[in-house]
Amino acid sequence: MTELWCEHAWLGGDEPVGSVLVELDGERIAAVRAGVAAPPTAERLAGLTLPGLANAHSHAFQRALRGRAQQPGSFWTWRERMLALAETIDPDSYLRLARATYAEMALAGVTLVGEFHYLHHGPGGARYDDPNEMGRALLAAAAQAGVRIVLLDACYLDGGCARFRDADAEAWAQRVSALDGAGAAIHSVRAVDPAGAAVVADWAAARGAPLHAHVSEQPAENDFARERFGATPAQVLAQAGAIGPRFTAIHATHPSADDIALLGDAGATVCMCPTTERDLADGIGPARALAGAGAGLALGSDSHAVIDMFEEARALEGGERLASRTRGRFSAAELLQAATAGGYASLGVRDGGRLAPGALADLTTIALDSVRTAGVPPAGAIFAATGADVREVVVGGRRIVRGGAHVSIDVAAELRAALS
């Protein structure tokens, strides 16, 4: 039994509480007691301990675009750079880049990543001997970095590059069925027709697996869906049977009022990726309206222009403020919920994202004595901390970050090597 004594911990209420003893039994939390003096046998965690952070939407390879795709233009000109990058990656370089990227996430306090994976095949679309070789590289990368992963294998049938595409949705299903524990994704209504989306939705339903899709990221995607199908992207996906409690809409930046009601009534999750959406000039999604309609919220760093879940959470609120000219659209507890339990639920990891008996022992501790957080009350830390303030990270009872350093990876050196 490992004992961790937390100076402050957020146990899911409106504010953190002090002097919390968390007892771990293997990969799970056995007991949580507040207002307890530190036993001499316990390891002391100074600062504020949170449930592990969930990064619910990642494309690991896009870490290679950071700082290299800032030319004037739009999402669509950025996309050209992304497609050119995708042509250059092989399973070995993918493993190195993803391992370093997931280790960067670990340093930022991320304990669970949802990898939305569509870079499946070799150059020109040639199949690897194992058609899931690229997906297995991602699974290995996360295991080596110590971060929990849900691989959301994305069906991609039309457009993009040949490396993304399976012959049809049945071929996608056959390939992904060989990947134990995989979740499902429909890349978007641009890339998967309604019949294909229905096949993916059925595959996920049969397994109770999480199902994600990019939804209304761009007005042009809405225009495409209206012209081709006479419906919005969310309506197309709903008609395909995709939208329900296991479904997560990525972005939902430009939904209609009916789409907001549809996603809320279905009890779906919406994963906002505010730092990517602002980097790509996508717009500001109606997060408060979606939450008010009943949708869950999660957060993702998506293109990894930034990997910092505190920044994502603040940007969720900040975007709302800019759009509404009203402050306090989300409470600190709601922002933390999106960064933790909301992401775990989106990825189908229902027993994580909270500090409670029986939950997975995934914890992140931030310093309250850094230049950013000194003098900040624990309840306000989410408005002050950055990923650089993360000191300790535990995943499944295993330490992966200690004293602000990864326990086994020189992260900056590995990023530099992977990107050289």
Distance CA 163, CA 253 (A): 27
Residue 246 CB, shortest distance to Zn ion, in Å, is: 18
Burial class (CB in 10 A: 0-12, 13-18, 19+), 38: middle
Nearer of residues 79 and 207 to Zn ion, judged by Cβ = 79
Nearer of residues 216 and 364 to Zn ion, judged by Cβ = 216
Nearer of residues 150 and 368 to Zn ion, judged by Cβ = 150
Concerning whether 251 is annotated as a catalytic residue, the answer is yes
Q: Where are the beta strands (DSSP E) in 118-166?
A: 148-155
Nearer of residues 104 and 302 to Zn ion, judged by Cβ = 302
Taken as a whole, the chain contains a residue count of 420
Concerning whether 180 is annotated as a catalytic residue, the answer is no
Residue 108 tokens, joined: 């930022």
β-pairing, 398-402 vs 296-299, is: unpaired
Residue 314 CB, shortest distance to Zn ion, in Å, is: 20
Closest-CB residue for Zn ion? 302
- Residue 39 near residue 21 (C-beta atoms within 8 A): yes
Residue 299 CB, shortest distance to Zn ion, in Å, is: 13
Burial class (CB in 10 A: 0-12, 13-18, 19+), 85: middle
Residue 169 CB, shortest distance to Zn ion, in Å, is: 20
Nearer of residues 152 and 266 to Zn ion, judged by Cβ = 152
Looking at this protein, which amino acid is placed at residue 52? Answer: G
Burial 166-188 (b: 16+ CB within 10 A, else e): beebeebbebbeebeebbbbbbb
Of 302, 308, 362, 389, which residue is the catalytic one? 302
Residues that bind Zn ion (CB under 5 A): 302
Residue 60 CB, shortest distance to Zn ion, in Å, is: 11
Of 8, 117, 120, 251, which residue is the catalytic one? 251
The catalytic site residues sit at 251, 302
